[in-house]
Amino acid sequence: MHLVALTGGIASGKSTVSARLAELGAVIVDADKLAREVVEPGTDALQKISDTFGADLIGPDGCLDRPALGKRVFGQPEQLQKLNAITHPAVHRLGLERITAAGEADPGAIVVYDVPLLLEASKRPYDFDFVVVVSAKEETRVKRLVELRGMSEVDARSRVGSQATEAERLAIADAVIDTNGTLDETIAQADAVWQTVRALPGIGARSATASGAGA
């Protein structure tokens, strides 16, 4: 099994790349989906969020009001750190379960861990064979958030600013996919990265291993 990290800032185009890699045969483990699972009604993480940030964030149906929580933590580093300390360890445990299961089902699998906050980790949660960074200019990302997700420009810039910088992400990349161009150009780059990953030696020689909380 090969374990590939796919990371990029909000509105970088990472979801497009992830979808293309899935079409090509990758097993995708999506950290955002895991993050939603670990705060489902009845979970320990949801109770801790309620205790830390207020019971008003839990709706009558027992579900987390994610937009309200976002407004409470984004742009406030101390509050965001508190939230990360609750959710990240839970996401990591669940991610490791999914990655391990994928490797057991197919020792030759290429598993792509789609993780926005790879650099925000205090420690790397898994042992990655290859790191792919999806990159777009800050202004491009802000424009996408405003036009495609309906955010105000202030909220968009706050979300972008709460994450690692492009320079920090690019410094850890084994490969970079630049999404400032057309969709076809992005897909072509994803295809090229897939061929690179498929050519990596030692499929099955390495496995995902937990290395602590963070990310």
> What residue numbers does the annotated binding site for ATP cover?
11-16
Q: Kindly report, residue by residue over 49-72, the tens digit of the pLDDT.
A: 999 999 999 999 999 999 999 889
Contact 10, 148 (CB under 8 A): no
Q: Kindly report, residue by residue over 185-194, the tens digit of the pLDDT.
A: 999 999 999 9
Judged against a pLDDT cut of 80, whether residue 12 lies above it is answered with: yes
- Range 46-55 contact pairs with CB under 8 angstroms and sequence separation of 24 or more: 48/86, 49/83, 49/86, 49/87, 52/82, 52/83, 52/86, 53/79, 53/82, 53/83
Share of the chain above pLDDT 90, in %: 73
> What residue numbers does the annotated binding site cover?
11-16
- Residues 140-160, mean pLDDT to the nearest whole number: 91
Q: Kindly report, residue by residue over 109-130, the tens digit of the pLDDT.
A: 999 999 988 887 655 567 899 9
- Residue 206: predicted pLDDT: 38
Residue 156 is encoded by which pair of tokens?
């968009």
Whole-structure pTM value: 0.83
Share of the chain above pLDDT 70, in %: 91
Per-residue pLDDT band at 201 (split at 50, 70, 90): confident
Distances (CA, A) of 169 to 35, 102, 116, 130: 21, 26, 10, 13
Judged against a pLDDT cut of 60, whether residue 207 lies above it is answered with: no
Domains of the chain: residue spans and CATH: 2-198 (3.40.50.300)
